[in-house]
Amino acid sequence: MAARDLHGKGPPWKEGFRIIGKAHPKSDGIEKATGQAIYADDIALPGMLHAKILRSPHAHARIRSIDATRALSLEGVQAVITGKDLPIPYGVIPWTPDEHALALEKVRFVGDEVAAVAAVDEDTANAALKRIQVDYEPLEAFLDPWEALRTPAPQIHAEIRGKPVEGNISKHVDLSFGDVERGFAEADVVLEDDYFFHGTTHTPIEPHCAVAQVSADGVLTLWSSTQITHYVQRALARVLELPESRIRVIQPCLGGAFGGKSDPFALEFVVSKLAFLTGRPVKCLWTREEVFYAHRGRHPMHMHYKTGARKDGRITAVDARILIDGGAYSSFGLVTAYYAGQLLTGPYDFPAYRFDSTRVFTNKPPCGPKRGHGSVQPRFAFEVQLDEIAERLGLDPIELRRRNFQGQDTSTVNGQRITSNGFLACLAEVERASRWKERRGKLPHGRGLGVAGSMYISGTNYPVYPNDMPQAGVQLKVDRSGLVTVFTGGNDIGQGSNSVCRYIVAEELGLDPLDVRVVAADTDLCPVDLGAYSSRVTFMVGNATIDACRKLRRQIVAAVVEAWGVVPERVAMGHGEVYDREDPSHRIPSREAFHLAETRFDTLGATGSYNTPKLGGDYRGGTIGASPAYSFTAHVVEATVDVETGRITVANCWIAHDCGRALNPMLVAGQIEGSAYMGIAEALLEVHDVNRFGLHAGPSLLDYRIPTSVDTPELHALIVESLDPEGPYGAKEAGEGPLHPSIPAISNAVFDAVGIRLRHLPFTPAKVLAALREASARPPAPKVARAPAKERR
Amino acid sequence: MLRLPKFELARPERIEDALALLAEHGERAQILAGGTDLVPNMKHELFTPDVVVSLARIPGLVGVRVERDGTLRIGAMTTLDALAHDPLVRERAPALAQAASLISGPQLRRMGTLGGNVMLDTRCQWYNQTHFWRSALGFCLKKDGTLCHVVAGGKKCVAAASNDTAPALMTLRAALVFRGQEGARTIAIDDLYKADGIYNKKTKGEILTEVRIPATPAGHRGAYGKLRDRGSIDFPLLGVAVRLDLELAGENGRGAVECADVCAVALQARPVRIQEVAECLRGTRPGTSAFAEAVEAVAEKAKKQCHPLENIPGDAEYRREMVPVYVRRTLRAAAEGAGPVEHV
Amino acid sequence: MGENPRMRLLRLRVNGDLHEVGAPDHWTLLEVLRYRLGLIGSKQGCDKGDCGACTVLQDGKPLLSCITLAALAEGHEVTTIEGLMPAHVARGGAGADPVQEAFDRCGALQCGFCQPGMMLSARALLNENPAPSRTEIRAALAGNLCRCTGYTQIVQAVELAIAEAAGVEPPRPAWSPDANPWKAAPPKTRPARTRSTRRAAEREEG
């Protein structure tokens, strides 16, 4: 039974929202501000050992033998393990369990985990690693995805889950909707080009860290900086061959993730195994270098897009061919290959669409989900191509997007259900805020405005392992003191999901937010939530929380009704009190109402759940990309180009994001700003790549450049509310959508500024100079006959 | 946590004791100034001394003062932040103040010292990495190996000098005072560096105590230009220091160029002086077309003379393209009494 | 150089307290703070001074504790994030340091991991310059990397702290064009009194 039928997008009380929609502080804000918040590396347990991991120096090699005897004999070393100690493979997606915590027979990238030690301190553990001898037989390594695609041997993975792998192909998806060829035939202009998105990674400021402790009766507790406590619990059970009920996974306060902590990782299995072997708690804190090797960042994509449009700007067909560089393991790769095509079919309507995406394995750190998983790259290509179409047709780029707007309460060409859709309002907002009409195309040479749009999922239709149980569950506990505790499996990774629970409960039960506390992400204490990925937590945990609150509210109101002898409609809750609407002098503190309810109904408590409706197209892969609600975003970027140095500077970025309803506008703005910052960084500064040896080219925060405060422009967050029918009070996601348009908007702004098209990321100064040189040597492209005067802006 | 290798720390309170330790332990001892270069390098196991000799407690190494003859004397342990803000340095040696102000980020400038920057280790993307990373490719010519990964078959290390203060001090004709066990000696900064990426200095076992900058004339102008990807933290991809000494005000308020010098860093193992700069600029007057043409000529010469390599991370071809741009912009900034030149 | 380095007895003054703690010479200040003194507020982000998460104040000036040898902090006054609130209370304030309060009220603490270092850099800036411009604020924080916020709400927080100290209204954020969400600082209540402290206070007042 899904919660969506029980509540709507309005406030729970006639009096309107008291908490929701206001800039309340976060539930964990002051604790983080005073240094009291506990992150995984802040945990220290008596007798705790430190684990270090030995990594492969080869990009592709067979392991002939491992000799750890000298390591074991070092004083202070308590245990050494290798792949043989953890032979069961795993993978976050059940169909591709192609990873081992420690390499079993071969290593597949430089940095792949090979052995681990537990010692009294890090220095001893490091010294022990140097004593482990590994005999490798190097194999040919693939660093280029095209080469991996056309070279079937040596195979990086020969078989996965018993099924043989075809060459080095991780996943191939080829889907077609409508009649693409006819669409191109009907078009007045057809553009076709290559686009490239390079590799980038998450770099949360907190490196991964895990601490494991085993009780005398064999119950494992793992604290881990993870986004997916529930999936980690399942993976540990599988690999350690333990019942899940004997595994407790706790996510402490977490220092950033962005999709980089949504796989189970080697260190979690390693500390758990070592804790079992030694009988002592074991901690492993990764160095920053190791975080780069773990990666799971954005897949480089080589894309070929072909789009047809009529003179009036209406898109007739889109055809995409995409080569996805997957790195050494699958991770979420099955999903990536689908997302690369499935998530493009909005906010514009096009009647015919085809995409063919192939993910290949390469001997590099494995790619995975990074904020906007699988859709940021195609969106970049498409939004630049749309701009090129606008240019060819002589149309304003915002007008072109308007003309193709798909509308709300509709369905996409690939069978996704669209409900609320505030994209037009988003365009209007950035058009206004940037003074687009008076400035675009009219700024001095070297300065320009660019626009782009996008859409993104608010959670998906399917859990990572198939089941029909709720995707989010919440439990409420009521104390006689007036405190209500919310138990949620939801992972707060800094986005404020715990705070959202607090605000919802305070709103529904009329409490002061300080009288609502949240216990989260502890598999012993909290109902299952699938984790913080695909922008699902606010939407799903929010709905589950409202569900639980409404059940509890019914009990409280029923008890008060009996005590006061009034009809239920007269009972209201707010400001920490319960009162009679028709006789406001008749009021009692909330906690007294709780006492009435506990007296009447015995010990109070309520659970709430949420599951998505059945969604998605009726074809294989049709559910991948289906979401109960989509967010929409538009960016306008103002950029300057220094034509002597080629450097692009973003002076301003306006981001209008339709989040359905801003449960806390300050937190939504923070997500909008953070997302835009991350997109700008990917476009201009960050490069994740390996050198000719297959070694990460610069695994440090010095060489992998993320913007400092002086590198980041003014970010103007504009909130649009389309009041979604299924989101909690109408809310949709805000954590990933706002990243997408920043990158193409920069390319489009550069075009306005200096007339060059950047289709190849990152937009380095060298590329800009090369494009400028080429443009000055080339005659301008022909324009199609302009649309009639009355349609021109 | 990336851990430091084990060592013993000495905190001598007299320079003689520091020198004695260096003499006693030879190659097994290393000097620690602000630590901002040595400590990260030690975490990378590029240096694993048995004894680290901190200069923090030795008196007389901090401070800026000006002698009666106008010589600027700066203690080697003066922080980069102090240099950037010191009114004497800003007035008399603006290129140095500007260079110091652009080094790394705010915290590091309060820790890093002038001496530490003058004596900065050279840098290379194949070298400034962890022990694991370097061992994965069999190390390199500069450290623990025999192969250079920048120049195939290269027998000479080409790690880049990466210290922003060096070219500025070269334009200022700085003299460096080194203390050894035998006493103090002064060498011109031009004589400190050599074209050897493995160790690009001609001193060993001595401690830099002071930097002396001869008096700059009243019409002295200087500026520093730094190319880097970000506006903070990064080492230079290219650094250009400029000196222009103008005759005291002529008719237009700015006299003709009497003396001109341009030095650059982050190209090769030593900071370099661009040749034939003075010949181009001398006698021209800022604000005139003659000056502008001379600036162009210098920029072109610089481009011809500078050959960045794929040593530090960053497109070497692009860095070469930027040489004339930054030389031109920094010369203009110096002429106007402005600067520093950077992209933010 | 043996396997067991000699321990040095360090006397470190941290947040006004004098600590005696043993550590080998190769331990950094960050490691001693976190793993010997239990002051886990200073964070480890990048191992070698590239990110600023380990920023502490030494004699009021921000430095990177992960590349500072612990022994070289002797003789100096170290302030960590845990020291800001007590110092504020000792000066007669209520609640957390105004910089900490402002960061909380502006939403600047998303994951919070970079923020102890960020707040200390901001505190050091405001101690030196109570009214910096936005450009000066960004420049002062340019050694502290943040991955969550895009720096916007961080700058807003610093400007809020400045505005409140000056008794003026802070700038309005883009997402709230019609009203200033930070216009009135909520009255800062002192910690609730227990029965015994209340009686003591009544005795004094009475």
Q: What is the pLDDT of residues C41-87, one digit of tens each?
A: 999 999 999 999 999 999 999 999 999 999 999 999 999 999 999 99
C13 min Cα distance to partner chain B (Å): 18
Q: Provide, rounded to the nearest whole percent, the portion of chain C with pLDDT above 90.
A: 82
Residue A474 within a domain: yes
pLDDT at A785 over 50: no
User: Whole-angstrom Cα distance, residue B94 to residue B78?
Assistant: 16
Domain that holds residue A377: 371-462+617-777
Closest CA to A255 of C43, C105, C63, C84: C43
Residue A727 within a domain: yes
Amino acid at B122: T
User: Whole-angstrom Cα distance, residue A607 to residue A602?
Assistant: 16
A vs B: CB pairs below 8 A: 77
Would you call B233 and C26 a contact, using CB atoms and an 8 Å cutoff? no
pLDDT at A153 over 60: yes
Confidence class for position A1, pLDDT limits 50, 70, 90: very low
User: Whole-angstrom Cα distance, residue B168 to residue B114?
Assistant: 12
- C153: helix, strand or coil: helix
pLDDT at A96 over 70: yes
Closest CA to B270 of B149, B154, B177, B189: B189
pLDDT reported for residue A606: 97
Question: Euclidean distance between the first and final Cα of chain B, in Å?
Answer: 33
Per-domain residue ranges of chain C: 7-79, 92-205
User: Whole-angstrom Cα distance, residue A521 to residue A488?
Assistant: 6
User: Whole-angstrom Cα distance, residue C201 to residue C206?
Assistant: 8
* Structure tokens given for A390: 């606008």
* Structure tokens given for A527: 């109902």
Q: What is the mean pLDDT of residues B202-231?
A: 96
pLDDT at B339 over 70: yes
Which A-chain residues 651-670 have CB contacts (< 8 A) with chain C? 662, 665-670
**By mean pLDDT, which of A621-625, A756-760, C20-24 is the weakest?**
A621-625
Q: Phi/psi at A754 (nearest 5 deg)?
A: -135, 10
pLDDT reported for residue A779: 74
Residue A161 within a domain: no
Closest CA to A639 of A529, A555, A765: A765
Residues of C in contact with A257 (CB under 8 A): 111
Please check whether residue B273 is in contact with residue B241, taking contact to mean a CB–CB distance below 8 angstroms.
no
Residue A273's alpha-carbon distances to A81, A240, A645, in angstroms, are 8, 7, 54
User: Whole-angstrom Cα distance, residue A28 to residue A664?
Assistant: 15
DSSP conformational letter for C80: -
* Structure tokens given for A40: 């995984």
Of A785 and A322, which is predicted with more confidence? Answer: A322
Give yes or no for C155 touching A (CB within 8 A): yes
Q: CA torsion, points A303, A324, A254, C101, in degrees to nearest 10?
A: -10
Amino acid at A424: L
pLDDT reported for residue A655: 98
Cβ atoms within 10 A of the Cβ of C147, count?
28
Residue A217 within a domain: yes
* Structure tokens given for B12: 């001598």
Q: Give the rounded distance of the alpha carbon of B198 from its chain centre.
A: 16
Confidence class for position A681, pLDDT limits 50, 70, 90: very high
pLDDT at C204 over 70: no
Give yes or no for C52 touching B (CB within 8 A): yes
Q: What is the mean pLDDT of residues A263-288?
A: 98
Q: What one-character-per-residue DSSP string does A641-706 give?
A: E-TTT--EEEEEEEEEEE-SS-SSHHHHHHHHHHHHHHHHHHHHT----B-TTSSBS--STTTS--
**Residue C69: which of B1, B9, B231 has the nearest Cβ?**
B9
Q: Based on the fold, state whether residues A397 and A268 are members of the same structural domain.
A: no
Please check whether residue C114 is in contact with residue A254, taking contact to mean a CB–CB distance below 8 angstroms.
no
Residue A666 within a domain: yes
Q: Are strands A113-119 and A77-82 parallel, antiparallel or unpaired?
A: antiparallel
User: Whole-angstrom Cα distance, residue C170 to residue A192?
Assistant: 50
Confidence class for position A4, pLDDT limits 50, 70, 90: low
User: On the CB side of B103, how many CA atoms lie within 13 Å of its CA?
Assistant: 32
pLDDT at C173 over 60: yes
DSSP conformational letter for A284: E
Helices marked H in chain B — which ranges?
15-25, 38-43, 80-85, 87-92, 94-102, 106-111, 114-118, 131-136, 165-171, 277-281, 289-305, 316-335
Q: Based on the fold, state whether residues A648 and A733 are members of the same structural domain.
A: yes
Give yes or no for C202 touching B (CB within 8 A): no
pLDDT reported for residue A468: 92
Q: What is the mean pLDDT of residues B228-255?
A: 90
Which residues partner with A638 through β-bridges? A449, A652
Closest CA to A557 of A571, A545, A574: A571
Q: Based on the fold, state whether residues A400 and A422 are members of the same structural domain.
A: yes
pLDDT reported for residue B252: 59
Residue A231 within a domain: yes
* Structure tokens given for A379: 């969106």
Structural domains of chain A, count:
3
User: Whole-angstrom Cα distance, residue A735 to residue A432?
Assistant: 24
DSSP conformational letter for C65: G
User: Whole-angstrom Cα distance, residue A369 to residue A261?
Assistant: 9
Please check whether residue B181 is in contact with residue B26, taking contact to mean a CB–CB distance below 8 angstroms.
no
Please check whether residue C50 is in contact with residue C59, taking contact to mean a CB–CB distance below 8 angstroms.
no
Give yes or no for C81 touching A (CB within 8 A): yes
pLDDT at A788 over 90: no
A364 min Cα distance to partner chain B (Å): 14
CATH topology of domain C92-205: DNA polymerase; domain 1 (1.10.150)
Confidence class for position A780, pLDDT limits 50, 70, 90: low
Q: Based on the fold, state whether residues A504 and A391 are members of the same structural domain.
A: no
Q: State pLDDT tens for residues A227-256.
A: 999 999 999 999 999 999 999 999 999 999
Q: Phi/psi at B133 (nearest 5 deg)?
A: -60, -45
Residue A179 within a domain: no
Would you call B232 and A58 a contact, using CB atoms and an 8 Å cutoff? no
**Residue C52: which of B6, B56, B107 has the nearest Cβ?**
B107
* Structure tokens given for A270: 């390693």
Would you call B125 and A697 a contact, using CB atoms and an 8 Å cutoff? yes
Confidence class for position A6, pLDDT limits 50, 70, 90: low
Q: State pLDDT tens for residues A366-418.
A: 999 999 999 999 999 999 999 999 999 999 999 999 999 999 999 999 999 99
Closest CA to A763 of A773, A750, A777: A750
User: Whole-angstrom Cα distance, residue B322 to residue B264?
Assistant: 12
At the fourth CATH level, which superfamily is domain C7-79?
Beta-grasp domain (3.10.20.30)
Which residues partner with A448 through β-bridges? A639
pLDDT reported for residue C2: 44
pLDDT at A563 over 60: yes
Which residues contact residue C62 at a Cβ distance below 8 angstroms, ignoring those fewer than 6 apart?
Answer: B106, B107, B110, C55, C56, C120, C121, C124, C143
pLDDT reported for residue C135: 97
User: Whole-angstrom Cα distance, residue A37 to residue A29?
Assistant: 9
Confidence class for position A793, pLDDT limits 50, 70, 90: very low
Closest CA to A503 of A546, A460, A537: A546
Q: Based on the fold, state whether residues A476 and A573 are members of the same structural domain.
A: yes
Residue A62 within a domain: yes
Q: Provide, rounded to the nearest whole percent, the portion of chain A with pLDDT above 90.
A: 96
Q: State pLDDT tens for residues C81-107.
A: 999 999 999 999 999 999 999 999 999
Whose tokens are 């700066």? That residue is B74
Q: State pLDDT tens for residues B32-51.
A: 999 999 999 999 999 999 99
pLDDT reported for residue A31: 97
Q: What is the mean pLDDT of residues A537-557?
A: 97
B vs C: CB pairs below 8 A: 93
Backbone φ/ψ region at A248: left (φ over 0), alpha (ψ -120 to 50), beta: beta
Give yes or no for A256 touching C (CB within 8 A): yes
Crossing angle of helices C81-90 and C98-105, rounded to 10°: 120
Residues of B in contact with C25 (CB under 8 A): 6-9, 52
Q: Based on the fold, state whether residues A416 and A553 are members of the same structural domain.
A: no
Amino acid at A228: I
Q: Provide, rounded to the nearest whole percent, the portion of chain A with pLDDT above 70.
A: 97
Task: Please tell me chain B's helix, strand, coil percentages from 3-state DSSP, rounded to the nearest 5.
Answer: 30, 20, 45
Boundary-marking domain end, from A610, A627, A653: A610
User: Whole-angstrom Cα distance, residue C119 to residue C103?
Assistant: 8
Q: State pLDDT tens for residues B243-282.
A: 999 998 766 566 999 999 999 999 999 999 999 999 999 9
Q: Based on the fold, state whether residues A642 and A745 are members of the same structural domain.
A: yes
Check if the interface score ipTM surpasses 0.90. Answer: yes
Give yes or no for C72 touching B (CB within 8 A): yes
Amino acid at C166: A
Q: What is the mean pLDDT of residues A640-646?
A: 98
Q: Based on the fold, state whether residues A288 and A419 are members of the same structural domain.
A: no
Give all chains having 3 or more CB-to-CB distances under 8 Å with chain B: A, C
What DSSP element (H or E) covers C83?
helix C81-90
Please check whether residue A223 is in contact with residue A40, taking contact to mean a CB–CB distance below 8 angstroms.
yes
Give all chains having 3 or more CB-to-CB distances under 8 Å with chain C: A, B
The CATH number that applies at residue A490 is 3.30.365.10
* Structure tokens given for A297: 């960042």
Give yes or no for C63 touching B (CB within 8 A): yes
Please check whether residue A96 is in contact with residue A330, taking contact to mean a CB–CB distance below 8 angstroms.
yes
Q: Based on the fold, state whether residues A668 and A743 are members of the same structural domain.
A: yes
* Structure tokens given for A770: 């090369």
Confidence class for position C200, pLDDT limits 50, 70, 90: low
What DSSP element (H or E) covers A209?
strand A209-214
Complete edge-to-edge strand list for the sheet that includes strand A648-658: A447-457, A630-641, A648-658, A714-720
Q: What is the mean pLDDT of chain A?
A: 96
Q: Phi/psi at A515 (nearest 5 deg)?
A: -95, 15
pLDDT reported for residue B153: 87
CA dihedral for A560, A561, A564, A569, sign (positive or negative): positive
Residue A295's alpha-carbon distances to A689, A762, C148, in angstroms, are 11, 18, 18
Boundary-marking domain end, from A586, A610, A634: A610
Q: State pLDDT tens for residues B110-143.
A: 999 999 999 999 999 999 999 999 999 999 999 9
Q: Based on the fold, state whether residues A54 and A29 are members of the same structural domain.
A: no
Q: Based on the fold, state whether residues A392 and A269 are members of the same structural domain.
A: no
CA dihedral for A397, A403, A406, A412, sign (positive or negative): negative
Q: Based on the fold, state whether residues A603 and A621 are members of the same structural domain.
A: no
Q: Are strands C61-64 and C55-58 parallel, antiparallel or unpaired?
A: antiparallel
Residues of B in contact with C136 (CB under 8 A): none
Amino acid at A717: A
